[in-house]
Amino acid sequence: MASVNRHFLELQRTYLFTEIARKVKAYQKANPGRRVISLGIGDVTRPLVPAVIAALHKAVEEMGHAATFHGYGPEQGYPFLREAIAAYDYTAHGLDVSSDEIFISDGAKSDLGNFQELFSQDSVVAVMDPVYPVYVDSNVMAGRAGEYQNARWQRLVYLPCTRENAFVPDFPETRPDIIYICSPNNPTGMALSRHALQEWVDYARHHGCVILYDSAYEAFITDQGIPHSIYEIEGAREVAVEFRSFSKTAGFTGLRCAYTVVPRDVTAVDGKGGRVPLRELWNRRQTTKYNGCPYIVQRAAESVYTPEGRVQVMADVEACHENARRIVDALQQMGLTVFGGVNAPYLWVATPHGMTSWEFFDLLLARAALVCTPGAGFGVAGEGFVRLTAFGTPDDTEEALQRLATVTL
Ligand code: PLP
């Protein structure tokens, strides 16, 4: 009999979104006339911008003619997109990233989930708490997380991001091999300053760690002091891999396109005293297991870098910021303390009167038919917070604000 990878059986049930759905269903049954609005939505709601639609149409047309048809493309992505990314996201900002260090994919989720394959099974992994669950579960599947006890995996190193440390993780007591950093952060909406990121890069260089830097929300950064790329930090090319996505930047959650930067200088040891460039291993992994992002999707992503594409996409990001500002105002008027929203589409709201995340969730649902995401679902350090997002439509956001105005705490 074939036996399964037992580590899959160790995975914890994703209780968070099932429990939210169960509570919303129960509320809806008891209040059939009341429309529930989600302020917890993690998907974009705006349609693709005209520049992207035009690029899609053109690419689709090309696929219908023998002379311009595209079959399998390069597993690493087409040069036209890799070069556009290198030029606009890096060279234009004075950063040293070349197009052959950029790997195009169908999403940051897949890349973040897959990248851990490159490391030995006994590697020690550090994650921020609260955490985007992909980092944790992909390492559980690989057998790197140890036993699950008291809501924590015993072999993972947790880096709590709390109000006390202003959501900037302190260095751990145990030295990890791999460090996942998500900035701007999902779920806290906070971003690491240049200084904080420099300290983490220095730490990684000193201790021989690799940083897996998830900046899926880079486009939402508005503060001058926040780096858009980890390669703005001195020494990062030696220790950091950067993950970015067109999902939230350009509404590609359904289209699917992202990229991962693996600089030539990032290496890990081979156990025999040698050093192996991770770029070579990732290239090998991708060419073995992946056949590339669709041509038409890569043409669509390329159009995001055209002058009109950039203006249109940034207008959508700005609309999201506008939503965030209005929601923050409404919450502050209720006397709540709110973090995030300035450099990210996420708001991290401290629950009032010592309520738990779920108690505050229940209150907002019962009193205003509003749905949020309880912070406790993202990790131990998320208790006492709820996450709201600014992705809602203008109409839903407007109605949500009116409802919030009627809630007294
Ligand atoms: N990283 C973070 C922190 C996210 O929140 C998300 C999506 O919600 C992703 C990565 C995944 O992005 P993609 O749609 O490119 O797979």
The CATH T-level fold of domain 6-47+314-404 is Aspartate Aminotransferase, domain 1 (3.90.1150)
**Is pLDDT of 13 > 90?**
no
Q: How far is the CA of 216 from the centre of ligand 1 (A)?
A: 6
Nearest-CA residue for atom 2 of ligand 1 = 216
**Is pLDDT of 353 > 90?**
yes
Q: How far is the CA of 40 from the centre of ligand 1 (A)?
A: 15
**Is pLDDT of 201 > 90?**
yes
Nearest-CA residue for atom 11 of ligand 1 = 109
**Is pLDDT of 41 > 90?**
no
Q: How far is the CA of 227 from the centre of ligand 1 (A)?
A: 19
Nearest-CA residue for atom 1 of ligand 1 = 216
What tens digit of pLDDT does each residue of 107-141 get? Answer: 999 999 999 999 999 999 999 999 999 999 999 99
The string over 299-328, giving b where at least 16 C-beta atoms fall within 10 Å of a residue's C-beta and e elsewhere, is: bbbbbbbbeebbebbeebbebbbebbebbb
Assess contact for 218 and 244: CB atoms under 8 A.
yes
- Which uninterrupted H or E stretch holds 259? strand 258-261
Measured at the CA of 54, the angle between CA 53 and CA 59, to 5 degrees, comes to: 95
Give the per-residue pLDDT at 335: 95
Please tell me whether the overall predicted TM-score, pTM, comes out greater than 0.85 for this model. Answer: yes
Counting atoms of ligand 1 from 1, which one is nearest the CA of 245?
A: 15
Give the per-residue pLDDT at 121: 96
CATH, domain range 53-307:
3.40.640.10
Q: How far is the CA of 142 from the centre of ligand 1 (A)?
A: 20
Counting atoms of ligand 1 from 1, which one is nearest the CA of 214?
A: 1
Give the per-residue pLDDT at 190: 97
Domain borders along the chain are 6-47+314-404, 53-307
What tens digit of pLDDT does each residue of 249-306 get? Answer: 999 999 999 999 999 999 999 989 899 999 999 999 999 999 999 999 999 999 999 9
d(CA 352, CA 210): 38
What tens digit of pLDDT does each residue of 74-118 get? Answer: 999 999 999 999 999 999 999 999 999 999 999 999 999 999 999
Assess contact for 351 and 199: CB atoms under 8 A.
no
Q: How far is the CA of 302 from the centre of ligand 1 (A)?
A: 19
Nearest-CA residue for atom 7 of ligand 1 = 109
Ligand 1, CB within 6 Å, residue ranges: 42, 107-109, 112, 132, 182, 186, 214, 216, 245, 247, 253, 258
Give the per-residue pLDDT at 327: 96
d(CA 314, CA 249): 8
Measured at the CA of 109, the angle between CA 103 and CA 112, to 5 degrees, comes to: 65
Q: How far is the CA of 347 from the centre of ligand 1 (A)?
A: 16
